[in-house]
Amino acid sequence: GGRGKTTLAKLVYDRIFHHFEVHCFLENVREVSNVDLQKRLLRPMLKEKIEEIWDEERGIIFTKKCLRNKKVLLVLDDVDHKNQLQVRAGKEDWFGRGSRIIITTRNERLLVEHDITLCHNVQVLDKGAALALFSLHAFKKNLPEDGFWALSSYFINYAGGLPLAF
């Protein structure tokens, strides 16, 4: 955790969402029920019929029915169980041509089990890049303010190259 997977996914989403008929960023997938996430994805299309989704199976039926012919951008953030992928993005034919599914997870094995082959491992930043990112968030500048260099460097070392960890 803390390597920037969610941040990177948000940046990609923000840059490309307008190219898709349906777009949805489902954050913290591990913490929210499958049915609630299915409803969030389908609410714009189903509107008042959204209450017809009362379990995962109904959600899957509606997902296939509503999204089969639509170009969809779906981000599944912080996936930690295979079932979460199966319920939200079961098979390629659930979505129309040109659809993209972005998944963030700490467990690469889940992707392998779901036959996902295109992966990007987010690396920890080197000390210079970590210091610059920390400075942007702490001081709104590319470098620490005078008098804060040593403390900022200490923090970067303590955080193990994850400047936004705290």
Residue boundaries of the structural domains of the chain: 5-113, 127-165
Cβ neighbours for 122, distance < 8 A, ≥ 6 positions apart:
3, 4, 5, 8
Cα–Cα distance for residue pair 102/13, rounded to 1 Å: 9
Total Cβ atoms within 10 A of residue 92: 10
Can you give the pLDDT of all 166 residues of the chain as single tens digits? 666 788 889 989 999 999 999 898 988 888 888 788 888 877 877 776 777 777 888 887 878 888 888 899 999 898 887 777 777 676 777 888 999 988 888 888 877 777 777 777 777 788 888 888 889 988 999 899 889 999 999 988 888 777 776 5
Distance, in Å, from the CA atom of 20 to the CA atom of 34, rounded to the nearest integer, reads 23
Convert the pLDDT of each residue in 98-114 to its tens digit. 999 888 888 888 777 77
Please choose, from the candidates 165, 124, 137, 132, the residue with its C-alpha nearest in 3D space to the C-alpha of residue 149: 132
- The pTM of this model reads 0.72
Q: Tell me what pLDDT residue 51 has.
A: 73
Which pair of tokens denotes residue 44? 């714009």
Please compute Rg for the chain using Cα positions.
19
